[in-house]
Amino acid sequence: MKQHLIMVVSLAVLGGLLLGMAPDAMAAHELVGASKCKSCHKKIGNPYALWQKTEHAKAYETLASPEAKKIAADKGLGDPQKEEACLKCHVTRVFLGNPAVNEKGKYTDAEGVGCEACHGPGSDYKKKKIMKDHDAAVANGLLRTKTEEHCTQCHNDESPTFEAFDFEKQWAEIDHPIIPKEKAAK
């Protein structure tokens, strides 16, 4: 009887541990790249075109500038396009903690700070059927991170080029509401 009780308790504990790990296992969404987002979203407000005009789209490219190389050298760092200290705020993949890149996706670090830096890796929510159902998209990894805390992970005084950060003003510069084509034409 005692052995049976020990086995039941052990199985319950093991089951609880496995259930506790399940969200982490399901959270292994992969990056697909901004151009994958573009393929559908160009039809609804074209946030991709808006993003391309932002500094976020040029964030990785900026690290190749003479100014960035000088800043890196002054800090005792090597090539800023290879330094984790720089990439963590200039590249979606590193900002998100180096999630896997979907082999069917089109993600490259050269896209800088792309869609998935704010909306999460898109491999599991990118399908049209899922995106049409907001709850399903969220369940599959879609994030909506319009928070100052999210932005100030990079826009802060740790950045060597930091300037005062006005969240509301700067959010207005990157905001890209999703508008169906027929409404956008009006």
pLDDT in tens, 4-17: 444 434 444 434 44
Q: For residues 95 and 153, is the Cβ–Cβ distance under 8 A?
A: yes
Query: What's the pLDDT at 41?
Result: 81
Query: How many contiguous H segments (helices) and E segments (strands) does the chain have?
Result: 13, 0
The parent domain of residue 64 ranges over 31-184
Residue 161: count of CB within 10 angstroms of its CB: 8
Q: How many domains would you assign to the chain?
A: 2
Q: How many CA atoms lie within 13 A of 37 on its CB side?
A: 25
List, for residues 57-105, the tens digit of each pLDDT value: 999 999 999 999 999 999 999 999 999 999 999 999 999 999 999 998 8
Which neighbouring-strand residues pair with 101? 31
Chain length of the chain: 186
Lowest mean pLDDT among 8-22, 126-140, 147-161: 8-22
122 or 179, which is more confident: 122
- Does one domain contain both 21 and 37? no
User: Is this prediction's pTM over 0.85?
Assistant: no
94 and 75 both lie in a single domain: yes
Do 135 and 153 belong to one domain? yes
Q: What is the largest CA-CA distance in the chain?
A: 75
For 22-43, write each residue's pLDDT tens digit.
334 335 899 999 999 888 887 7
**What phi, psi does 75 have (nearest 5°)?**
-95, 5
Q: Is the pLDDT of residue 145 over 90?
A: no
State whether 85 and 110 are in the same domain: yes
Same domain, 17 and 90: no
Model pLDDT for residues 104-121, shown as the tens digit of each residue: 889 999 999 999 999 999
Backbone angles phi, psi at 101, to 5 degrees: -105, 125
pLDDT of 1 higher than 80: no
**Residue 83 pLDDT:** 97
- Considering the domain architecture, whether residues 51 and 10 belong to the same structural domain is answered as no
Q: Do 81 and 123 lie in a common domain?
A: yes
Average pLDDT for the chain:
83
